[in-house]
Copies of this chain bind each other. A is one copy, B any other.
Amino acid sequence: MAEETLVLPHLELRRRTAERDRGLREKVMSLEEAASFVSDGDHVALGGCTMSRTPTAMIWALVRAKKKNLTVSRSIMSSEGEVLYGSGISEHVITSWFSQGIVWGVSKVMRHYTESGQARFDEWSHMSIGLRYRAGAMGIPYMPVRSMIGSDVNARLGDEVKEVTCPFTGERLLALPALNPDIALIHVQRADAYGNAQLDGLQFMDIDMAMAANRVILTTEQIVSNDSIRRAPDQTRIPFFTVDAVVEVPYGSAPHECYGVYEPFFNHMDALAEQTKKDPEAGIKKYLDDFYYGPSSWSDYLDLLGAAEIVDASRRGRSIYND
């Protein structure tokens, strides 16, 4: 369901949450089944940041399922944002920074779609996006903040931000509107069949996002037993009752990285940047044909990435634990 208002009235947020089956139950399914949780017009939040723990496999499934009119938010968008624009499943992204990565310069695909007016890119400060998810996670309608004030980032957002005054100090602050996405897509190293997720390394905004969202699809490198989760409950970062679907997808963030498991597939990223340089639209369409529409399964997709690249990315990924 689309966000009807900038901030959901509290009782409506509660009604949607109360409707969900939050009991302890198994919810393992395929990428295709999980894709059915996303409706056209939804606000979809993406876990991870830039080239890290991107829910690539789930986006891949949404593109293949030909979703429409999604609004997509993320801390920072990398090549998955190019895929969103190029495939047409989203013409509206909300993020603080959007390009493949610093080393590849400004994204030609992002430029093509935004400069031509075909797609919208709402820019918020990095912390503001994080605090919008956090307010949503906390069940409050706004969060006061001392950032973004005075800049054109703020000015351009118009009525989506408001000035408030501290009732104790009289200080002027900005009120950020809570963000409760319709659905969040989050990729993790391990989760159990109920959706208890444990994350290693960088957490980005994923935990607030999971708590804030009205549904969560969890993709995981590996499904582990509930017993193994219960042995270290202080390592669980996302509780099962926020999660609606659990999908086991090895290399589910490729060509991006998954902390401690694999680093980015840099050669693949280089090739994508090169391919979209001259004719960004044709370049990204060809990329989609080759890697999104072409393969018949996620395994086929991994085959296209190539075993040697997978082995190399994995070796680099594990090296973080060498010290």
Binding site for B on A (CB under 8 A): 6-7, 9-10, 139-146, 162-164, 166-169, 171, 173, 175, 177-178, 200-203, 230-231, 234, 323
| Complex contacts, A168 vs chain B, CB 8 Å | 6-7, 141-142, 162, 175, 177-178
Q: Residue of B at shortest CB range from A200?
A: B234
Bound complex: CA A241 to CA B265 (Å): 36
Bound complex: CA A230 to CA B320 (Å): 11
Is A323 a contact of B9 with CB atoms below 8 Å? no
Q: Residue of B at shortest CB range from A260?
A: B234
Q: Residue of B at shortest CB range from A140?
A: B144
Is A9 a contact of B141 with CB atoms below 8 Å? no
Interface of A is mostly: loop
Least CB distance, A185 to chain B, in whole angstroms: 22
**Given contacts A140-B144, A141-B169, A230 and B323 within 8 Å (CB-CB):** yes
Least CB distance, A199 to chain B, in whole angstroms: 8
| Complex contacts, A7 vs chain B, CB 8 Å | 166, 168-169
Least CB distance, A287 to chain B, in whole angstroms: 33
Bound complex: CA A19 to CA B163 (Å): 31
Bound complex: CA A203 to CA B237 (Å): 13
Bound complex: CA A169 to CA B141 (Å): 7
Least CB distance, A169 to chain B, in whole angstroms: 5
Least CB distance, A222 to chain B, in whole angstroms: 18
Least CB distance, A318 to chain B, in whole angstroms: 14
Is B139 a contact of A166 with CB atoms below 8 Å? no
| Complex contacts, A177 vs chain B, CB 8 Å | 168
Is B169 a contact of A201 with CB atoms below 8 Å? no
